[in-house]
Amino acid sequence: MPVLVFIIVLSFVFYILYKVQYVRSRRPMEKKWLSAKSSMALGLFVGCFGLNTLFIHQTTTSYIVAALFLLIGFASLWVGFKAYRHFRPFAQREAEELKNQ
């Protein structure tokens, strides 16, 4: 499916983008916030990769591997989203304090 391949590539690009921003950042809360965003992107990558595997190969082994990828990927997406919501206000407050100095 071309749509899944597009999402896979796009999520991997966002993962790399967020990791580069994480390395370049010096603020601790912003680092945690960016780490959560990269976790979401990586989870989406792994989950969509597992979903794509279901459509490409129809063997028992591929179903097991795809199920594992789906579970791990979408669990990482969910945990990353929860961390993103938790650290976003702290990162915003940290950015405002730095701006006001």
DSSP secondary structure letters along 16-83: HHHHHHHHH---HHHHHHHHHHHHHHHHHHHHHHHHHHHHH--SHHHHHHHHHHHHHHHHHHHHHHHH
Residue 37 lies in a domain: yes
Q: What does the pLDDT average to over 83-87?
A: 95
Residue 83 lies in a domain: yes
Instruction: Evaluate if residue 64 carries a pLDDT over 90.
Output: yes
Contact 51, 11 (CB under 8 A): no
In whole angstroms, what is the distance from residue 88 CA to residue 101 CA?
20
Q: How confident is the model at residue 55 (pLDDT cuts 50, 70, 90)?
A: confident
Residue 81 lies in a domain: yes
Q: What does the pLDDT average to over 3-13?
A: 94
Residue 87 lies in a domain: yes
Residue 74 lies in a domain: yes
> Whole domain around residue 64: which residue ranges?
13-18+29-100
**Nearby residues of 48 by Cβ (< 8 Å), 6 or more positions away:** 4, 7, 8, 11, 73
Structure tokens at 94: 């940290």
> What is the rounded average pLDDT for all residues in the chain?
93
Residue 43 lies in a domain: yes
Contact 15, 35 (CB under 8 A): no
Residue 3 lies in a domain: no
Please count the structural domains in the chain. 1
Residue 52 lies in a domain: yes
